[in-house]
Every structure is written in C-alpha cells, then in structure tokens.
Chains A and B, each alone.
Chain A
Amino acid sequence: MALLTVDNLSVTFTGNNQRPVRAVDGVSFGMDEGEVLGLVGESGCGKSVTSLALMGLLPTRGVEVGGRVHFDGTDVLSLPSRRLRDMRGSQLAMIFQDPLSSLNPVVPIGRQVTETLRRHKGMRGRAARDRAAELLDRVGIPDPARRLTEYPHQLSGGMRQRALIAMAVACAPRLLIADEPTTALDVTIQAQILDLLGELARSEGTSLLMITHDLGVVAGLCDNINVLYAGRVIEVSSRKQLFASPHHPYTAGLLGSVPRLDAPRGEALTPIRGSINDTIDWDDGCAFAPRCDHYTMECLTGTPELVRAGEGHQHRCVNPVNLDPGSAHADRPDPVAEGGNVR
C-alpha cells in the first residue's frame, strides 16, 4: 500500500488586499514505503508550499488548502492539530533549506535534538543526551558529546545541516521530507549531505521526499522523479527513464537534452528561455506554452491531461518529445497573442 498519497492538492494564498495566489495547483503523486522520490521544479513553482502542506505547517489564516493528503491511511489535512503534532517529528519529519536560520540560535544543539526525543519518546536526562550524541555521531558529526553543548553559530554550514538531519531522524520517521537541503551549502558539502540522506533512507527503510530545483541533485539519489511546473506535476517517471528520454519539453529543457539550434555560437546553453513568470493559467492551456518551442494550438485548449506513455512514465503534454522524432510541430502561434491569460 502506498505510504503517502497526494491527490489534487492545491494551496491558495488569500492575502488581505491582494488577489489570491495559487501556489500549488492540483498536485498529485504517491510514494511507497522506502521509496526515494524526487520533486523537481524551478524556484517559485510551489515546492516548499507543497512540502509545508504535507507537514500541516501552512499558516491557518490566509491560506486555502484543497485536495487530499493521505499518510499511512490518515487524512493529514483534516487531522486535528493535536493528532498532527503527535505525528510530526515522529512519523513525518522535515529538513529545511537554510540550516542556519532553521536552528534556534540561543538553544544548544543538544537541547534541540533531545526536545524531540523527550516529546515523542519520553526520554529525558542522561538517556536523552546519550541518544542525542549517538544521533549526531550517526549523521557524521565528530566529537558529538562536545557538540551537544554548542550553539548553531559555532558549527559550520555542513555540520548545521547534519544536526538538522539528526533532529529529523531522531524518532525514526517513516517519511522524511527534505526541502532543498543542499542549496545553502557549497558543492563538496552538498555531495556529502546527499550521500548521508541516501544512506540513511536506505539503511533505515525511511521514505525520502527529495525536493530540489536541481536535477543533478536527484540524479544519484532517487528511485522516481516528479517534475513540477507552475504548481502542477508535469512529468512522472523513474529516474532512469527520465534521464534517458524526458517526454515533457520542460523536463527536456532542464536536462539540456534539447539544444537550441538558433543559440548563438559560443554562448552557454540556456536550456529554457524566459522565466517562471512567463506563464498562462492552467485553465486556459499549458502553463509552459509561452516558453515552449513545441507548442501548437492544441496546447491552448484547456489543461493538458497527465497521460501515460510507457511503464510508470507519465507526462502532461500534447506534443511530447522523445516519443517519435517527427512529432514536433512547425507552426507555433504565439500563445500570448492568441488570447492566453498571462498571469
């Protein structure tokens, strides 16, 4: 049975005197026990908002959440906050993007680890401290007993992220959500943290939802990958197939597998032109159309469906690439000029 099922999740921010922002627009995916799933998308496409929704951490005021999230058969979105708190930290845990700002600056590292153990395992005093030291050791922090008494500012960036990981895995959660856990770190440290996460997930059998804007990050780690664009899943695939033959032009662009012939010589490859702001409403058609080199009029007649194309491979595109080479169309109307509702 699936451990996590996300069905048509939508999140809309309804600020006081601004028009509503739909940050997540009908995201659906599932995760099995022990699976390592990558959730990939550009900055601003709704990755963090999705992960906060899964954790039940979105603010209660000014946010509308739709759809369903089932974790181990429990409906997370309608769970009373007490039950949700019991689940958070013990079954579901999360690692955040910026380790420095995610740690309390005035509380020793040790206390920040033991407070989780105390809350969910009832461990206190010596037992909790010993367990915390074990956890720090487990995530590769040298001299853990001394580190327990130190404060976040005394640790390096990589060590801070390791400490956050130790806190997240303290109660052996079944699902670990990592929201861009390496973005704030430098490259060599990034690789170490990714190795650690992969190794922890595999050895403990923890499911890992790896959220990133960088396909390179998930390349070595994930079993399956979901690609997100403008608040929707646009491609679902095993890692192998995705890298071998991405079907959605956006994914293909991310992978740089579709070199643009008109790119000036000597210029670095810019896989996708435009930015996430060049988009149209999903209700009017494919949100990627303004940036797509493959669009046709069909792309602008309502939301493209997520269609299956092979074993475990789905895409949301009417003119998928890498299926058969002749499918790309030559006539490309300007979707904005065609009456697309530009956000």
Chain B
Amino acid sequence: MFRYIVKRLLQLIPALFGLSILLFFWLRLLPGGPENTLLPDDASAQQREALRESLGLNEPIIVQYGLFLERLGNFDFGNSLQTGRPVMDEFTTRFPATAELAIAAMLIAVCVGIPLGYFAARKRGSFLDSSAVAGSLLGICIPVFFLAAMLKVVFAEKLGWLPSAFRLDAGARFTEITGFRVLDSVLTGEFDVTASALGHLILPGLALSSIPLAVITRMTRASVLEVLGQDYVRTAESKGLQPTVVRTRHVLRNAMLPVITAIGLLTGSLLAGAVLTESVFAFGGIGSFIYESTQQRDYPAILGFLMLIAIIYVVVNLLVDLSYTLFDPRVRVR
C-alpha cells in the first residue's frame, strides 16, 4: 500500500516535468508580454525594454527555463508579476475558496445524481427516467459560464433570493483558520458566518455542479441497470432477502464502483469549470486569478498555478483510487 502510494507520487515527477516544458514554451508563444500589460499605455520603448531585461525575459529561453527549474528545486515558483508576492502565497490564500466551491458542487452532484440515477434505472421508461436522461443531456450541453450567468441574473438579481457575489456578506466579521469559511466558522462557533458562507455557495455550487451532476446521474443509471441484470442479484432474491437488503448490499454496492471512478475523473472538469464560475460570482479563488494572470501575461503565476493544480488533480485521483480499493476487494494494491 505504502509502496503503491510512493510509486504513484513518483510517477508525478516526469509528468510535471513534461507539463512545465509544454507550458513554459507555450506561454512564450502567446503574443504580447508583461511589458505591455504591466506598464501604462504611454510607456516608452526604453521603459518596456528595461522591464523585460529586469524580468530576465531577454535571456535565451533555455536559460530562462533553467533558472525556473533551479528555483523549482527549492519549491519556489517565483513572484507574481501582477502583485509581486510569491506565487505560492497567492495560491495558498486563494485555493480554499476554489476547494470549497468544488466540494460544494461535488456534494450537490453526488447527493442528487446518485439517487436520481438509481430511481431512473429502477423505473426505467417512466417519466422520471426520461426526465433524468433529458436533464443530464442538457446539463452536459449547457456551458457552465452561461448557466452561472443565468442563475445569477434570475435568483440573485431578479428574485433577490440569494447573494450574487463574493464569499460572505459585505462587512461580515470572521476568524480565519484554514481559509475554508464554512469549516472555520463551524470551528469557532460563528454560525451566522456559516449560514452566510453556505448561502454564497449555493448559486456558484449549482452552476459548477451541472456537469458532474449530469455525468453521475447517467453513470449511476447505466450502472444500476447493468447490475440489476446480474446473476448475483438473482441469487440474492433466491435467498428471500428483503428488498432493502437486495437493493443496498447487492445492487447499489456494485453499481457504485464505476461512479466512484467517475468522481475522480470529474475533478479535472470541476477545476476547469471553477475558473468560469468564480469569475461570474467574483468568488476570488484560483480560477479568477488564473484568468487575470493570462490576461496580464503573468508567466510565473500561470505556470505555478497550473502545475499546482496538476499536482492536486493527481493527488485527488490517487485518493479516489485508494478509496476504490475499500469498495472493490478485487482490486489489489501492490
């Protein structure tokens, strides 16, 4: 088990190496540079040239990459060109917002998608089933950005039911421990903050959950349909077991296996969707920062953030794979 984890983490190194090369050279191919965005429009050519020089952008690209790797050896991603703060610090202050949003979206997707998919399969061909199938198709097709904007216009701006931006009500006082506001406020007992934080999570969480919800619903439905036709379900019925036991122990337990794998793979699309959702709701996570960094050609920030996201993606998938071994005894971890 331990060796398996170490092996998986070691596999991460060449992947990250490759990713860094790709990103590094791709970023330099983008038109424009930080000298155009960081300086005022009326800055002189000399000023621009001086900035490029001071940022080391005039060195041969191989040399730049070498310097980048050297710093990376000390877990240093350099400083953000926009803020001047270390990229790592920018990441750790922003990451909890994104993680909170992603977890909220995944919770919605799991808590709604699994029961929905299950009952759709049980009542195959019913109105519920066709609605679930049609709805999940819609969920996959609708762009997250559009959905987020629609939700915001209707439920926040027109109806005024829910807040339209930020993570807390303006002027709310709170104690920061981990940066996860829901968790922090529960730990400190500031339950009004918890309520406010949850309220601010609903709309962006819903928008971001559309794709995972659709995928989990379809996956669960297909998987339950398949399991219902398996011989071991018939065996369970031949023993006269109560329907609840057959459904949970024999049907659901097996039907959940492919869904667990899907949940791991969905983390990637969740992080991508977060970029768009956060910018609609001014949520202030890593998503909006990456967006701004790209606009500003903030090379160190983009590179650092994307590599950190890649690491998180791999770690989340590793955790999902490890939890999978708890559910499926046939998968042996060596």
Chain A: residues with CB nearer than 8 A to chain B?
A: 52, 55, 57, 84-90, 93-94, 96, 98, 101-108, 115-116, 119-120, 151, 153, 164, 167-168
Contact = CB atoms under 8 A, between A and B. Distances in A.
A89 B250 CA distance: 16
Nearest to B234: A57
Contact of A104 (B238, B240, B249, B327): B249
A96 B245 CA distance: 20
A308 B23 CA distance: 87
Contacts of B234: 52, 57, 96, 102
A107 B239 CA distance: 15
Q: How large is the interface on B (under 10, 10 to 19, 20 to 34, 35 or more residues)?
A: 20 to 34
B312 interface: no
B330 A153 contact: yes
A32 B328 CA distance: 44
Given A107-B249, A107-B253, A102 B235 contact: yes
Nearest to A103: B232
A93 B235 contact: no
B235 A119 contact: no
Contacts of A115: 236, 239, 241, 245, 249
B251 to A, nearest CB: 10
B64 interface: no
A168 B236 CA distance: 11
Contacts of B328: 105-106
B232 A102 contact: yes
Contacts of B242: 85, 119
Contacts of B232: 101-105
A164 B242 CA distance: 19
Interface string B215-239: 0000000000000001110111111
A106 B238 contact: no
23 contacts: A84-B240, A87-B240, A88-B237, A89-B239, A96-B235, A98-B231, A101-B230, A101-B232, A102-B235, A105-B232, A105-B254, A105-B330, A106-B253, A106-B257, A106-B329, A107-B253, A115-B241, A115-B245, A115-B249, A116-B240, A116-B241, A153-B330, A164-B235
Contacts of A96: 231, 234-235, 238
Given A115-B245, A115-B249, A103 B239 contact: no
Contact of B239 (A98, A108, A119, A151): A119
B250 A55 contact: no
A315 B328 CA distance: 52
B329 A167 contact: no
Nearest to A105: B330
Interface in B10-51: none
